[in-house]
Structure 1
């Protein structure tokens, strides 16, 4: 098996913050915008497949190694400026966003209208203006203040609602997560817990505002896995109805984390290549 070669570069965003990114492949430029609690390293498998058709740039969003801190003025606008800065530096006109990265992608496309092709996998858009859905955030934030990262992480996983752990007692879900995620992998997550809180607060600020995505002019493909919960498919349907000409596809056997390494990146990469090569 061939090993994909990556190089690491960085640029300065509009406010002077350093934003790092991994690069591989050859061809038209395609940016990858990771989800919460992830770095560029979590998307090297999908990037390696896409590298046969594209020059791929995997962003390390603010608060990740290789990039600067989110800072006290952190906002969705800062995330969009970071994506725009990398686009201007690389000339990339295609973009793939996963989860919160999908939300950042949509916001950037709506604000700057600068992408020819956009692929989103289960974008983290809050379509409902329902505060009850976000009650977990206060538990998460208090756990971080009390230096209880495990409790915070469990509150997030259950509150996000993407896995069967959401329906388990809190103690049992926490026990399972402690077994599943430990060592260096856990330390990577701990380092991003504060950033995760800030990112979800930005998502909360935008809840119910998805109608402004009708301003997006590029071609859009919305992807989801058939193992994901009903609210994911409802979100994609509302977005497809809002964005002119958007296409929607559900992939068999996939779930929310499928774009990441060791999941099912090959299935999603195939859809990206098919759509952007048309």
Structure 2
């Protein structure tokens, strides 16, 4: 079931629509442009509004659909039976509603895109920016501390446990109390308010990342053409995983963008540069590398 209404966004550029997923959860999306359809699946602690600059840049040649994954924005809640399968069903529902043949996935959204593409040969091309795949099992000790902080309504504490636990920044090496203080000073205002709202959803999503950790080499059956993009400022562990993932997928290519980190596709990153790589990839005939 699909409804689509023209509603002005803040920039007055996007058309809004929604679709019901398999479990009847509402999944909202916003669209811009004209041409072959691309569906963008955003990362954790984010929503569709964090990728509008990327969508606008790509809209010169494509119709770009920015979905809000369940648990935020235009979409319904994650629900008590949340799992990766639900995310894949949501993406599939938006694909069917919009006719999008191509996927873009960032971080956790990249993992969702990979999972779906490995199961659905109708997906012709997938562009990924540092998808959330891991070469080794993820330690879950920080997740227990994160959950305990949420139960105390200490969202600053939960966020500090998350940042330290992921091991992707120098804050990992700092004492918890000091990392929490630094993050309080660094992350404020509306940026913090969005993160705070999404911390419960983020924990559920990273439980799925942990469940699927060490699965980096399991995507060899993916039939889509895959472009993997990484930033040269990202940690070596991320680059190692991206290299392994690209090696595992037959029809894949790895690109490195200078000066960018894990947040390259987002509005405050380098979306115009990422859009150029993605546009060139999607415009090349399928099967040509």
TM-score over 0.5 (shorter chain)? yes
Q: TM-score band (shorter)?
A: over 0.9
Cα deviation, residue 231, structure 1: 0.8
Deviations along 1:96-134, one digit per CA (max 9) or x if unpaired, are: 1000000000001112222111111111012213x53x3
Partner of 1:44: 52
- CA distance in structure 1 between the partners assigned to 2:185 and 2:267 by the alignment: 19
Matches within 5 A, 1:1-20: 5-20=13-28
Aligned partner (choices 169, 175, 190) of residue 163 of structure 1: 169
1:180 Cα deviation (Å)? 2.3
Q: Map 1:26-37; keep pairs closer than 5 Å.
A: 26-37=34-45
Q: Are the aligned partners of 2:42 and 2:69 in contact in 1 as well (CA < 8 Å)?
A: yes
Q: Which runs of 4+ in 1 moved over 4 A?
A: none
| Matched residue, 2:128 | 120
Tell me the SS of whatever aligns to 2:30. strand
Q: Counterparts of 2:270 and 2:12 in 1: how far apart (Å)?
A: 17
Say which of 176, 190, 194 aligns to 2:200.
194
Whole-angstrom distance in 2 between the partners of 1:138 and 1:116: 39
CA offsets, 1:219-260, max 9 Å, x none? 101111111001111111111111112101111111011111
Deviation at 1:4, TM superposition (A): 6.8
Structure 2 distance, partners of 1:46, 1:163, is 25
Partner of 1:233: 239
Q: Does 2:274 align with 1:271?
A: no
* C-alpha distance in structure 2 between counterparts of 1:209 and 1:236, whole Å: 12
- C-alpha displacement of 1:196: 0.3
Q: 2-side partners of 1:179 and 1:48: how far apart? A: 32
The TM-score with structure 2 as length reference comes to 0.91
Please name the residue that 1:203 is paired with.
209
**TM-score w.r.t. structure 1 length?**
0.95
Find the residue that maps to 1:192 and give its secondary structure: helix
Which among 71, 82, 85 is matched to residue 93 of structure 2? 85
Q: For residue 189 of structure 1, report the CA deviation from its aligned partner.
A: 1.3
Report the counterpart of residue 5 of structure 2 in structure 1.
none
- Deviation at residue 164 of structure 1 after TM alignment: 2.7
Aligned residues: 274
Deviation at 1:22, TM superposition (A): 1.1
Q: Which moved more, 1:162-171 or 1:244-253?
A: 162-171
SS at match of 1:257: coil
Q: Structure 2 CA distance, aligned partners of 1:194 and 1:72? A: 12
CA contact (8 A) 1:162 1:256 kept: no
CA RMSD of aligned residues (A): 1.4
Residues of 2 paired with 1:6 and 1:194: CA distance? 28
The residue that corresponds to 2:251 in the other structure is 245
Equivalent residue, structure 2, for 1:153: 159
Structure 1 stretch 72-81 or stretch 3-12: which is displaced more?
Answer: 3-12
Aligned counterparts of 1:168 and 1:185: Cα–Cα separation in 2: 23
